[in-house]
Chain A
Amino acid sequence: MDFTFTEEQNMLVDTAERFVSKEYGFETRNRIIGSEAGMSKAVWQGLADLGLLALLVPEEEGGLNAGPVETMLVMSALGKGLLVEPYLSSAVMSTRAIAALAGAEQRAEWLEQMLAGTLIVAFAHDEHGARHDPLAVETRAVRIGDGYLLDGRKSVIRHASQAGMLLISARVDDGIALFAVDRDTPGVRLATYPSVDGARAADVFLEQVYLPESRRLGQGDSSDTLLAVLDTGLAALCGEALGVLQRSLDTTIEYARTRKQFGVQIGKFQALQHRMADMLIHVEQARSMTYLAAVRVLDNDAARRAAALSAAKVVVGEACRFVGQQGVQIHGGMGVTDELDISHCFKRLFAIEKTFGSALDHLDRYRRTLAA
């Protein structure tokens, strides 16, 4: 048993945390989420310059080939900054999918640009009404000549409007395949909107989108890889949650230490002390399950892996809700304003709880494994 991190891993945390605290202050972030693009190219380039976009890129393509523990640590550091840039979608999930499925030429072309920061790839899998049933894909790719025609709709795709390329899952004759679709391909239409946490998302409508064979990743049914990529994303998201949870707890404790009512710091009131103690318990339970997720995400037994990850999402999701809600509550009126950290943390925690399935969705999934 060993819960310590290696020196390299600690350095990685340092690098990411220093970048966030230096380049991603509250005001800067507000400017970014209020901007037309909803992200900062400079920040993205900064992440590239630090090598953080190369984290999951294989060594042959010049990457660090790091694993889920490193991913968790970096995501947690970025979570502390409430980063709205497409790290999870592009640098984690899309990179992982390309590394797992793409042919040599495709990898060379895409990964080089991705780790340099010049190409953002949005992972576009979720569909309207699928409720995170991971293989409920209705978007179809029909073979035509030496290519495919794609029709369908991808729903609430984070960063779609910021991406040069979308990785789209679609049903083919022999299962599910992933396709690389440039955002400006004819037949691709985006309905873009802000997400509750300040990031941008879109519904992606695909109508008779023609793609040559070279735009398909891998051959045969890619469902297993798709599940592994989704699980990688879920484990990484738990890592991000940890960062946001910690920031929420820290900022709440700080507020309780400074805010006075009835002549004393409100942190002296036992009712609030116990509440903050419960917040800490939620954060630590979430941390434990995030570690579990980071270890089990490499399990080749998909069912066992899925059960562990669902269990993690239940604990992390409930922590997101409790810590977010109580953090706002303890801040009183100030907690509901746009002016302090805590409401921004609250909204990101809300979004995390809803991403890749809510705590209740995953409780349902886990429940179904009991009788199996």
Chain B
Amino acid sequence: MDLNFTTEDQTFREEVRSFLRDHLPSGVRHKVLNGTHLDRDDYLAWQRALHARGWGGPSWPAEFGGTGWTPVQQYIFDEACAEAGAPRLVPFGLKMVAPVIMAFGNKAQHDRFLPPILAGTEWWCQGYSEPGAGSDLASLKTRAVRDGDHYVVNGQKTWTTLGQYADWIFCLVRTDPEAKPQRGISFLLIDMKSPGITVRPIITMDGLHEVNEVWLEDVRVPAENLIGEENKGWTYAKFLLGHERTNIAGIGIAKRELARLKRIATCETRHGQPLLQDPLFSAEVARVEIDLMALEITNLRVLSAEAENRAPGPEASILKIKGSEIQQRLLELMTEAIGPQALPFDRDAMAAGYQGDYPLAAYARTPTWQYLNLRKLTIYGGSNEIQRNIISQMILGL
């Protein structure tokens, strides 16, 4: 048994860290480390910087312009980026639709869609969930009817994250309403500029516009934008969900946020001593740190097991459940650490570079909105209840 990375992997980590030191813009780094909201350009600029280094597709095979890294290297890269304060890679193109296009798309689709994802010039969004189809995704109703060399699409998608920025949406649509729910679904790529598409913001409880409803009304989609075969979409959808789950534990992010929690708890005091030395509070920090330690090793075990077979199995559900709970707990403890300063909630004061008349410490301005915002972690990408169902059924065989 050896818990250390190989010498080659450690050298690789140094290479990544060195790149981050030289190329991660300090402005965006500052935003990430302080929990400030990122905008479209922050994400895209980072994708372009990675692309320039040849690292635009850390999870992609080399034949499509990716790095061809092993799962361990990908993990090391993700962790180093998160710890350094790099923005997360926008997953919708890179980690969701791209693997589907590679595996099931044709040559023309590879050539048309993959390069702009890598280069950070096209933004994708996900058209999966519908108002009546959340956890029960297969009950989706958006209809696509073939009309000559087009599909005509009608329906409504929801929870479309950052759809307001998107150039393209990948959609699950029902092409055979007579078949069993999973059998009649197809996978379509749709240009967001198509007539008949309306994007409506959904404002979340933190006051942000991060998710949307996407309405499709008689949207004409060229049949060449169908991925694979008609009515086989559910297979591709499940394949995508498998890929969505790589790096789902968010170890690097959790380590970064743990460090931030400790910084805050060093500045705040109770009974005249730093909160991090307070017996009750430090015990809570210790507990989450230990929890994270265990998850990190569990994650490495899953990585090792999948070294040959890239798509992770149902064990990924363990990583999703624990990873999301740990991140939520870290933010909860940050709001605990800042005490009464967790109550003020001024969106302007949370923006980077705010110079106004706001009486709180800079580190106290963002934990509350993040705490509200991260309630989504245990809900999206398959709610933690669904993940527990997967564990009971697929691992325990119940």
Contacts and interface: CB of A to CB of B under 8 A. Distances in A.
A360 B281 CA distance: 8
Contact of B280 (A260, A344, A354, A360): A360
A358 B359 CA distance: 21
A361 B281 CA distance: 9
A155 B340 contact: yes
Interface string A328-372: 110011011111000110110011001100101101100100000
Interface stretch (B70-78, B290-298, B375-383): B375-383
A26 B335 CA distance: 27
A4 interface: no
Contact of A191 (B203, B357, B376): B357
Nearest to B378: A329
Interface residues of A, number: 49
B205 A346 contact: yes
Contacts of B341: 155-156
A276 to B, nearest CB: 13
Contacts of A260: 132
Interface stretch (B30-38, B56-64, B343-351): B343-351
A193 B346 contact: yes
Contact of B385 (A271, A325, A346): A271
A262 B135 CA distance: 8
A126 interface: yes
Nearest to B359: A203
Secondary structure of the B contact surface, majority rule: mixed
Nearest to A126: B340
Contacts of B284: 360
Given A193-B345, A196-B343, A261-B135, A337 B336 contact: no
Interface string B357-398: 111000000001001100110111001110010000000000
A325 B375 contact: yes
A87 to B, nearest CB: 17
Contact of A195 (B132, B268, B343, B349): B343
Contacts of A299: none
A155 B359 contact: yes
Given A261-B139, A336-B204, 6 more contacts: A126-B340, A193-B358, A260-B132, A272-B385, A343-B205, A360-B281
Interface of B: 129, 132, 134-136, 139, 158-159, 202-205, 207, 211, 268-271, 278, 280-281, 284, 332, 335-336, 339-346, 349, 357-359, 368, 371-372, 375-376, 378-380, 383-385, 388
